[in-house]
C-alpha cells in the first residue's frame, strides 16, 4: 500500500517553459544549449544543482562567461523563465492528497528557483511551495541529482520509508527508471499535463 508520494516540480507542480528560459539566458549572452540537453545538465549548471558551487559562485561564473558583472536578480530572472505558471488546481490536488498520504517534493532545482518557489509569491495567494508538501527534497541541498539512484535512496533513508510503499511522479522516463531501480513505484506523466487522473488510476480507492 502506497503511503508516500514523491513529486517532481518542473512540468508537474508548475508549467515549465524551457524555451523561455533559454531565451532569457541568450539575452544576457549565455547559450544554455551548452549546459542543458536531453541527457541532463552539465558544466556550471550541473555544478550548481549538485552543490559543487554556490549560487554566488554560479553568478560570478556566468558573469565571467558573458564579460560583464551580472546581479543575482538578473541570473534568477533567467532561471525563472522555466516557470511559466502554477496551476491552482494542481496545488489543490496536493493539499487534498496530503490528507491521506505523506507528500514530498523530489526535484532537480537550484537556489535561484527555490528562492522564488519558497516565497509567498509562488501560489498567487500568499503561499510558498512548502505549504503544499510535508518535505522538500532538492538536489542542490542533497548534493546529488536525479537520475542518480542515490538521490532516491537518500530520500528513503531520510524519510524512514519502504520503497514499495512509495510512489514517484515525474515527466522524465529516465528519472522514473532510476526510482524504480530502488524499488520505488514510478508513474510517468507527460510534461505540463494534469497528472491527477493517472495518479488516481494507480492509487487504491
Cβ 93 vs Cβ 196: under 8 Å: yes
Cβ 184 vs Cβ 1: under 8 Å: no
Is 8 marked active-site? yes
Q: What are the cell numbers at 118? A: 519558497
Q: What are the cell numbers at 188? A: 510517468
Pairing, β 135-138 against β 102-107: parallel
Q: Does residue 12 have a cis bond before it (omega within 30 degrees)?
A: no
DSSP 130: G
From 8, 17, 47, 170, active-site residue: 8
DSSP 55-107: HHHHHHHHHHHHTSPPPHHHHHHHHGGGEEE--HHHHHHHHHHTTTSEEEEEE
List Cα–Cα distances, 195 to 93, 103, 200, in angstroms.
Answer: 10, 15, 9
Q: Cα separation of 91 and 88, whole Å? A: 5
Catalogue the active-site residues: 8
Amino acid at each position: 500500500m502506497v503511503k508516500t508520494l514523491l513529486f517532481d516540480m518542473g512540468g508537474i507542480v508548475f508549467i515549465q517553459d524551457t524555451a523561455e528560459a533559454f531565451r532569457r539566458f541568450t539575452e544576457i549572452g549565455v547559450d544554455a544549449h551548452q549546459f542543458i540537453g536531453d541527457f541532463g545538465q552539465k558544466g556550471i549548471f550541473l555544478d550548481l544543482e549538485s552543490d559543487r558551487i554556490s549560487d554566488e559562485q554560479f553568478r560570478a561564473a556566468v558573469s565571467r562567461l558573458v564579460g560583464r558583472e551580472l546581479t543575482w536578480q538578473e541570473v534568477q530572472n533567467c532561471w525563472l523563465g522555466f516557470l511559466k505558471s502554477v496551476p491552482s488546481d494542481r496545488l489543490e490536488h496536493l493539499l487534498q492528497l496530503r490528507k491521506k498520504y505523506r507528500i514530498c517534493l523530489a526535484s532537480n532545482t537550484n537556489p535561484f528557483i527555490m528562492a522564488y518557489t519558497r516565497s509567498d509569491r509562488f501560489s498567487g495567494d500568499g503561499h510558498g511551495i512548502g505549504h503544499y508538501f510535508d518535505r522538500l527534497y532538492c538536489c542542490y541541498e542533497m548534493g546529488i541529482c536525479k537520475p542518480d539512484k542515490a538521490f532516491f535512496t537518500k530520500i528513503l533513508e531520510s524519510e524512514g520509508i519502504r520503497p514499495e510503499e512509495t510512489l514517484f511522479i515525474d515527466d522524465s522516463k529516465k528519472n522514473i527508471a532510476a526510482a524504480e531501480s530502488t524499488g520505488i513505484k514510478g508513474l510517468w506523466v507527460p510534461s505540463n499535463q494534469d497528472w491527477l487522473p493517472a495518479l488516481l488510476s494507480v492509487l487504491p480507492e
